[in-house]
Amino acid sequence: MLSRIDKHFEEVLCAVFLCVIIGSVLMQVVLRFVFHSAAAWAEETAVYGMIFAVYLGATMATRERAHIRITLLVSRLPRVLQIACVVAADALWLAFVIFMIVQTTTYTQLLFKVTYQTPGLGIEQRWVQMFIPMLFCLMLFRILQVYWRWRADEFRGLPL
């Protein structure tokens, strides 16, 4: 059960948020062109669905090692330098993710000092923004998971 969650967690949530986007936009189009009306919350729902789908997609790409990399040069290097280049790039990426966790957490904490409701949905902005540091934490977990699996594979190949 845990392996299925590990393998499909981001995929399922991404699909749900993409369905939310499609449903919201489709409903808004129908309301505007058929009924000459609009729902204020539909646009916000589509925007937040897109934000969550993008972050979850980035996390899913982290798990699958599917982020864009320039490996042509790296593949031509000796094995020791290949590993060094990949690990150095991942260390920089890890530092960036940790930086983003700190910064987005700080921003979210600031939102707890003020009251800001979203205009369309009428929910507190802090609850929406709280998911961003959580998704960066998930990305951090996935980066560390790649290296854990590489270690379990006795460091064969590259940490892919």
How much is the pLDDT for 21? Answer: 96
pLDDT tens across 19-65, in order? Answer: 999 999 999 999 999 999 988 899 999 999 999 999 999 999 988 88
Residues with Cβ < 8 Å from 34, sequence gap 6 or more?
none
- Indicate the pLDDT class of residue 94, thresholds 50, 70 and 90: very high
Domain ranges of the chain: 2-152
Q: What is the mean pLDDT of residues 103-118?
A: 91
Residues with Cβ < 8 Å from 57, sequence gap 6 or more?
10, 14
**Is residue 68 predicted with pLDDT exceeding 80?**
no
How much is the pLDDT for 160? Answer: 66
**Is residue 8 predicted with pLDDT exceeding 90?**
no
Report the mean per-residue pLDDT for the chain: 90
**Is residue 119 predicted with pLDDT exceeding 90?**
no
